[in-house]
Each structure stands twice: as structure tokens, then as C-alpha cells.
Structure 1
Amino acid sequence: MGKRLAIGAGLEFSWLLASVGLMREARGRGVVFTLHHVRPHVAQAFEPNAHLEITPGFLDAALRRLRREGYRFVPLDQVPALLAEPEGAKPFAAFTLDDGYSNNLEHALPVFERHQAPFTVFVAKGFAEGSHSIWWETLAVLLRQAPEIRFDFGHGMERLVLDSPQQQWHAFDRFAAYIHGSDEARAVAAIDLLARENGIEPTDIVRELVMGPGELQWLAAHPLATLGAHTISHRALARLPEAEARIEMQVSADYVEAVTGIRPGTIAYPYGTPAAATAREARIARNLGFTLAVTTQPGLPSARLTGYLPRISLNGFYQKRRYVSALASGIPLKLMGR
């Protein structure tokens, strides 16, 4: 909570600076936004993935605000060419959505249509086929429903009581650390087994949340939509052997091409952090023919980074129109020394 308050205060300060015309040089040529879920909010006491969810109303307000501030909405694959334009061109905004959630089709598409805003959805083959679980979604259901669980984090079986949101949050953080600090496939398999022992089928959650091949094919035919690759299993590529990382990336592109008839030129690295996506993954992406790769590392695109782009998150914790202005201004990044 303290971190969220600090970020919120930073966004308020950045908006104030931008509103009076200060630090205009921070804005850069444009911005690439990243989103995940777009759906009406259903409030719950324990919402570990709330940062990955914005409402359709906020997306609409964000697009209205950006348009009013002079941004042109562009497809992601046009960003490198736009970065090469002369100084003084209108700033651009590109929109990307990770993981291929069904609400991108149901709730996000009508908003993008209303504003004629192109967007890219990054597809993980294992999610679209229902063959791989989404561990953070599984945990949200499991920790919300089970009164207690038993799990071995590597030091023997432990009992975790889940009577309060605080206990649920503590458990979620422990599982996340366990996943990122051990063999990810084995860790996720262990969580899936725990969920099944508690009457929850992880792949049912995926099939409920994620677009299947038919929906992806329909979406790919829409003039505003483009599909990109997002690996098979959504594991952190930098922690995989190079050959396995390459397979994850290539097969994901093969899948999108098989479903839509169009080979994707873009890829989003799972998690997208510096620890999950390194120079090695950028090299593999180039060798596989991807012309553009995106991370979740906060930043504005520049001509120096056309093959390895940072993005700005439209975060569920900060759904205020003025925060969109603050984020697009680049001022928060300058204040952080980026």
C-alpha cells in the first residue's frame, strides 16, 4: 500500500508539472501502452491481480484524453518508422494487450473501435489452447476459496491459514517468489496440483478467461487488430536454456500464423522485466525474424531501441484520466532518472 501511495503521489506531481507546461522535453516522440484485462470491475476483498485490470470506461477516458492532447493512434509495427520522423511531428500512442483475454474482444474492442485506435494482442499458445495454466489466476481463485492449504516451498510441508486478505496476500507473495526463484514449469505444476486437490481445475480457468482459436481468427480479421507472439507457456525466457527459449518464441509465432494465416512480426516477452528478457532474447527474436519486441520495462520508445521497446502500463491501481496524461508526458520516468 505504501508503494502504491508513493506512485500515486508521483503521478499527481507529474501531472501538475505537465499541466503547467514544465518538462516538455520529457515527452519524447510517443508512447506504447500495455494492458491485460479490460472488463467491468467486480470488487473483492482479495484482488492480487487488480493491477492487471482496467475498466472499459477508463480505457475510453484514456483514449479521449490522449486524443485531446494531440496524440495520434497508430499500429505497433509503425512505431520504428515514426521514431525516424523529423522532430516536431505529432506524438503517437500505440496500444498492446498481453495474454489474449476474452474481455479484450468483448470489452476492449468496442472502445478501440469508437476511437479508431489500432491495437496488438499478444498470444500465448498454451493459454489459447488451454494446455497451460495461468498461475496468477489460479492462485487468485485458490487463495480466495480455500480456508487453508499445505505446500512445500522447498523446506518441507507448511500450513498456510487463509482467513484474511492479509494472509491471502502473504501466501500469494510467497508463491510468486517461489515461482520466480525455482524451476518455473515445476513450480506451476505443483500449484496446479494443489488447486486440483482443492477442487479447482486450472485449465478451466484459462478456457474461461482466454480467447480460443476461433475468437483469435475473428479478431485477427478486424482492421484495427493485430496479433503478436507471446511464447507457448509464458515462462521467463532468460531463465530457460537458449534452445528452449528459441522454441518457445518460434512455436508461438507458428501458432499465430496457423490460426490467422498471418505470421506475426512482433513478440512480447513474458513478464518483460530485465531479469526475464535480456540481450540474448533480443538476439533470438531478431534471428527468428521478429521486427519488434516489447518488454514491460517502463520507458518511452526511442530510435535507439526500435527492436526492443519499453512500454507504459495502464495499471488498475491508477485509473484516473490525469494519470494517463502524466504517464504519457514522460515526466515520471525523468523523475525516476530513466
Structure 2
Amino acid sequence: MRQSRGRGVIFTLHHVRPQRAETFAPNAHLEITPHFLDAALRRLTRDGYRFVPLDELPALLSAPEGGRPFAAFTLDDGYINNMEYALAVFERHRTPFTVFVTKGFAEGSHSIWWETLAVLLRQAKEIRFDFGRGSERLALDGPRQQWEAFDRFARYIHRFDEARAVATLDMLARENGIEPTDIVRDLVMRPAQLQRLARHPLAALGAHTISHRALARLSEAEARIEMEVSADYVEALTGVRPAAIAYPYGTPEAAGAREAGLAGRLGFSVAVTTQPGLPAAGKTSYLPRMSLNGFYQKRRYVSALASGIPLKLMGR
């Protein structure tokens, strides 16, 4: 199945930080340790991969096949730990990487609902909330009830008007003594930090919209504004127009053909999803990525993901 490997792979990461002890960690899949990132880069080097900047992919994918496969690394949302922990690992292995910046997170004007929700459900013993059928009481006596509540809120946010749903969740958090924007400021790089990171020769910044809403659920005009203003913001920070954008959530339900068309018309040469797969020629406005998942932090999983064999076994 050697031919499954294709030309290369794009990896997606979020948090890179030391492991934390939490009995309820609904976002654990979004974080890996610096040790695992180091091990992943060592394994890929052993497997013959070359590390490339994301903006080189259009040229790489249009070139004749052959030679060493590539690996490109991306990190979504702009977390502080990307600079505190991931940067040193990338430096050690001379690995280029792209951090996708959400304007509202960097400016502290928008909350990160999945982070707010994790804190709320860990701290509260019970909450009351109206999911659309009247106020309900949710007991939070243990991990099972916390997980059930997290899943209900996630469905609520993705099913209804996202901005309104997140605002309602933020209000509930404040009623329970939690300020959602404080969480964002603790987690996400501020503009000055992003500027400092962007000056590093291995780092690049990409666009990740203003509010991190699912673009496919917005009007075309709103989706365009989210994408264009995000690029404007990165350009204002760095003086360079970003070549790449990552669609928030990155699923087929969150971004599709319309968003790929918008990305092309707005001048992005690379646009990435979170859909698993290996990049192919001619599809740079809707590229798949493989997730380095916090639940699978072993070197052999990295080789397997990069190889494409799991996708082949699933018939993709």
C-alpha cells in the first residue's frame, strides 16, 4: 500500500502544551504535548518526509510526482502555547508552520465557546438553560452528566443561529461567575505576540475569519466579509497578505463548494479543511488535513496518518 502515501500530508494542531490533569476534558482531542510533537517530527524525518511551508503547496501539487513526500504543519486559533511550547520544537527540527488567526479571538472581542463550556461544566454543580423548549435543569454531578451537557450545547450551537447561541452561553457563564473573554485572553496570542511570531523565519500567519462561525451557515455576503476582513487583519499585523485560510470547524457542514469559490476569488492560494485526507493536485482551495489528535499521541499513529493507509482501509 506504499502508493497510498501520495505526495504528502498537511497536519492540523490546536494546543501544544504539557498534559494537564482534568477529570472532565471535552477538548482533550485538540491538544498534544510538546514531547509528542517532537516525537512526531522525528518519526516523519525517519520516514523520509521533508517539511515545507504551506504556501508552497500549489507549486508542489502541480509539479510532476516523485521524490520525497512533504509534510506541512498548521495550528488553528492562535493559542499562546503555540509560541511558548510548539515554536521551540519546530525550531529544533527546522520545520515551517502556519498559525491561523481568528481576529475576534486575538482582539478579545469574541469568546471560544467550547473553552467557555468546558470551564462552566467543570465548575457548576447544576445549571438551567433553555434549549428551545423552555428552561431545563441540568445536574452536573459527574463526567457522564458533564459530557451529556457538553454534547447538548454543541448541538444547540451548531443547529441554531451560532452568534446568538454563543451569546446566550456567554450570558449563562457570566451568571455563574465566569467571564468568557477572560478565558480567551488567557489562551490566545494578542496582536503584539502574533506580530513577534510572524517575524520568525519558520512562522507564517493565515486567516481564520473574524468570529470562527461556520461559514456555510452564513449568507454569502457575511461569509465573504468574515474571510476578507480576516485576511485584512493579518496583513495589518504583518504587512504581508496571507496566502492561506482555514475554514472554521472545517467539516463539510461548515464549509463547502461556495466557500472554496470565495477563497479563490479572494486571492487565497491555499484553503484548508479539517476533513481527513491527503492533498491532491488541482484542489488547493479545499485541502484536507490530518489531525494530530490528543487521544492518539504515539509515534506509530503519525506514520499511519501520513501514509494514507487508514483512509485506504476506510475506502476513501
* 1:84-103 → structure 2 map (5 Å cutoff): 84-103=62-81
The residue aligned with 1:12 is: none
> What's the offset of the Cα at 1:38?
0.2
The residue aligned with 2:222 is: 244
Which whole-Å CA distance do the structure 2 matches of 1:230 and 1:241 have between them? 17
2:111 equivalent to 1:133: yes
2:60 equivalent to 1:82: yes
> What's the offset of the Cα at 1:86?
2.6
State the AA in 2 paired with 1:223.
P
* 1:1-338 → structure 2 map (5 Å cutoff): 23-338=1-316
Which whole-Å CA distance do the structure 2 matches of 1:199 and 1:271 have between them? 28
Give the superposed CA RMSD: 0.6
Which whole-Å CA distance do the structure 1 matches of 2:65 and 2:230 have between them? 37
For normalisation by structure 2, the TM-score amounts to 0.99
Which whole-Å CA distance do the structure 1 matches of 2:264 and 2:307 have between them? 30
Deviations 1:182-202 (A, max 9, x none): 000000000000000000000
Which whole-Å CA distance do the structure 2 matches of 1:184 and 1:145 have between them? 24
Which whole-Å CA distance do the structure 2 matches of 1:159 and 1:226 have between them? 45
> What's the offset of the Cα at 1:261?
1.0
Which whole-Å CA distance do the structure 2 matches of 1:242 and 1:282 have between them? 12
Which whole-Å CA distance do the structure 2 matches of 1:141 and 1:328 have between them? 34
For structure 1, the residue ranges without an aligned partner over 5 or more in a row are 1-22
Which whole-Å CA distance do the structure 2 matches of 1:178 and 1:161 have between them? 18
State the AA in 2 paired with 1:116.
R
Q: Counterpart of 1:304 in 2: which secondary structure?
A: coil
> What's the offset of the Cα at 1:84?
2.5
76-85 or 267-276: bigger deviation: 76-85
Deviations 1:254-297 (A, max 9, x none): 11111111110110000000010111011111111111100000
Deviations 1:49-68 (A, max 9, x none): 00000000000000000001
Contact 2:61 2:282 in 1 (8 A): no
> What's the offset of the Cα at 1:306?
2.1
Q: Counterpart of 2:154 in 1: which secondary structure?
A: helix
Which whole-Å CA distance do the structure 1 matches of 2:275 and 2:54 have between them? 16
For normalisation by structure 1, the TM-score amounts to 0.93
Which whole-Å CA distance do the structure 1 matches of 2:40 and 2:276 have between them? 18
Which whole-Å CA distance do the structure 1 matches of 2:248 and 2:284 have between them? 18
State the AA in 2 paired with 1:147.
K
Q: Counterpart of 1:267 in 2: which secondary structure?
A: strand
> What's the offset of the Cα at 1:79?
1.2
Contact 2:58 2:269 in 1 (8 A): no
> What's the offset of the Cα at 1:234?
0.1
Q: Counterpart of 1:107 in 2: which secondary structure?
A: helix
Deviations 1:115-169 (A, max 9, x none): 0000000000000000000000000000000000000000000000001011000
Contact 2:101 2:209 in 1 (8 A): yes
Q: Which runs of 4+ in 1 moved over 4 A?
A: none
> What's the offset of the Cα at 1:81?
1.2
> What's the offset of the Cα at 1:87?
2.6
> What's the offset of the Cα at 1:85?
2.8
State the AA in 2 paired with 1:321.
R
Which whole-Å CA distance do the structure 2 matches of 1:334 and 1:190 have between them? 42
Which whole-Å CA distance do the structure 2 matches of 1:306 and 1:142 have between them? 39
Which whole-Å CA distance do the structure 2 matches of 1:87 and 1:248 have between them? 35
> What's the offset of the Cα at 1:43?
1.6
Q: Counterpart of 1:34 in 2: which secondary structure?
A: strand
> What's the offset of the Cα at 1:307?
2.3
